[in-house]
A and B are shown apart, each in its own frame.
Chain A
Amino acid sequence: MVNRNALGKTGDTFDVDIERGKIREFARATFSTNPSYLVDPSPVCEPTFLTTMIFWQDERSDPWREVEMNLERGLHAEQEFVFFGPPPRAGTRLHARSTISEVFEKEGRRGGTMMFAVMVTDFLDDHGVVVAQSKMTGVETARAPQEQS
């Protein structure tokens, strides 16, 4: 069950390195042949690449675990990335910080309450300027996914 007290929880800042090899690997894994990712010596990252950075969070930097979403009924509902300029380039070190920005409920179409939670992750450069932002929306359905049709 989603814990409403997670709202406003912020994790510790964690450093992320935007690496060329990881950008190229990710481009191949997303069926890209674009030289902007694969050939450029200093490529920008693919628009969804920053999603990989949350897998480097630890207990202290990841506030999502405070949401306590039920693993069997939890689903990734939406994902958004905003870039305040070109996406980050290989060779950049950014400083990321995640916050639980929303927790809310909606009635499902087939009855039952769906609980939503949103985690915003800001990616800052060395000057403290936010250069990118990721917004992950998770939903906990009233029933397990396999019971839906």
Chain B
Amino acid sequence: MSALSPPPDLVIGPISMTDIVRYQGASGDMNAIHHDEAFAHQSGFPSPLSLGMMQAGMLATWATDWLGAERVRRFRVRFVEQVWPGDTLSCSGVVAREYLEGDEERIDVELVCRRQTGGVAVLGWATFVAEKNEVSS
């Protein structure tokens, strides 16, 4: 049984265009499909859509608050459903495995970012170096 219990879900939303624009500015991904209404329509979308990497960043925020910004060693995401302005997102996760790699105790976690519909926006898998006193042996 793991001694690590996840913190409460990180709930963010409703996502605004301002949130999306702020992420675009911070990341340098200025693809117009995420902020330009006319361009999004021309591309066949009902409105601008969020960036998968913003949701990935939310999962990283939740996971590193829990297990430590300096202790992450792997962070992988798969994009599933698109996210739209007005969506409310919940980030959560569980411990998948605790193990030794060499002489280092490690923790694998599985992460999920869900929309208010229950649909999965992003799945994630991350590995952290454990703080020894947190790992049951």
Q: Which residues of A contact B (CB under 8 A)?
A: 22, 25-32, 34, 36-37, 43-44, 46-48, 51-52, 55-56, 72, 75-87, 144-147
Contact = CB atoms under 8 A, between A and B. Distances in A.
Contacts of A85: 73
Contacts of B12: 31
Interface residues of B, number: 37
Given A29-B25, A83-B74, A86-B71, 11 more contacts: A31-B57, A34-B69, A36-B64, A52-B27, A52-B28, A52-B29, A55-B29, A79-B77, A86-B70, A87-B72, A145-B45
Contacts of A43: 69
Contacts of A29: 22-23, 25-27, 54, 57
A46 B44 contact: no
A12 to B, nearest CB: 19
A47 B26 CA distance: 15
Nearest to A53: B28
Contacts of B58: 30-31
Given A31-B10, A32-B65, A72-B43, A83 B52 contact: no
Given A31-B61, A34-B65, A34-B69, A47 B75 contact: yes
B97 interface: no
Contacts of B69: 34, 36-37, 43-44, 46, 87
B53 interface: yes
Contact of B74 (A36, A44, A80): A80
A80 B126 CA distance: 9
Interface in B48-83: 52-54, 56-58, 60-61, 63-65, 68-79, 82
28 contacts: A26-B57, A29-B57, A30-B23, A30-B54, A34-B65, A34-B69, A47-B126, A48-B53, A48-B56, A48-B57, A51-B53, A52-B28, A72-B44, A76-B52, A77-B79, A78-B78, A79-B53, A79-B76, A80-B76, A82-B74, A83-B72, A85-B73, A87-B69, A87-B72, A144-B44, A145-B44, A146-B45, A147-B44
